[in-house]
Amino acid sequence: MEKEYWINKWQNKELGFHQPSVNPLLGSHFSTLALEEGARIFIPLCGKTLDIGWLLSLGYQVVGIEMVESAVIQLFEELQVTPDIKAIGKLKCYRAGELEIYVGDIFDLTLDILGDVDAVYDRAALVALPDPIRQRYASHLPVLTQHAKQLLISFVYDQSKMAGPPFSVDDAEIKGHYGVAYTLTLLADDKVKEPVKGNKDILEKVWLLTSNN
Q: In what order do the strands lie in the sheet with 149-156?
A: 84-88, 91-96, 99-103, 61-66, 40-44, 119-122, 149-156, 203-211, 182-191
- Per cent of the chain over pLDDT 90 is 80
SS3 124: coil
Contact yes or no for 150/26 (Cβ under 8 A): no
133-144 and 171-178 helices cross at what angle (nearest 10)? 50
pLDDT value at residue 2:
63
Query: What pairing do the DSSP bridges indicate for beta strands 40-44 and 61-66?
Result: parallel
| pLDDT, tens digit, 9 for 90 and up, residues 21-76 | 899 999 999 999 999 999 999 999 999 999 999 999 999 999 999 999 999 999 99
Q: Minimum mean pLDDT among 4-13, 51-60, 85-94, 189-198: which range?
A: 4-13
Residue 160: exposure state from Cβ atoms within 10 A (0-12, 13-18, ≥19)? exposed
For residue 127, give every residue at least 6 positions away whose Cβ sits within 8 Å of its Cβ, in sequence order, or none: 153, 154, 155, 164, 165, 166, 167, 169
Torsions phi, psi of 152, nearest 5?
-120, 130
Q: Say how far apart CA 72 and CA 156 lie, in whole Å.
A: 29
Does residue 75 or residue 5 have the better pLDDT? 75
| pLDDT, tens digit, 9 for 90 and up, residues 109-143 | 999 999 999 999 999 999 999 998 999 999 999 99
Read off the DSSP letter of residue 123: S
pTM of the model: 0.93
Closest CA to 141 of 168, 109, 173, 170: 109
pLDDT value at residue 15:
53
Residue 74: exposure state from Cβ atoms within 10 A (0-12, 13-18, ≥19)? middle
Task: Give me the amino acid identity at 117.
Answer: V
pLDDT value at residue 38:
97
Give the number of other Cβ atoms within 10 Å of residue 212's Cβ.
11
State the number of CA atoms in the 13 A half-sphere of 53 facing the CB: 17
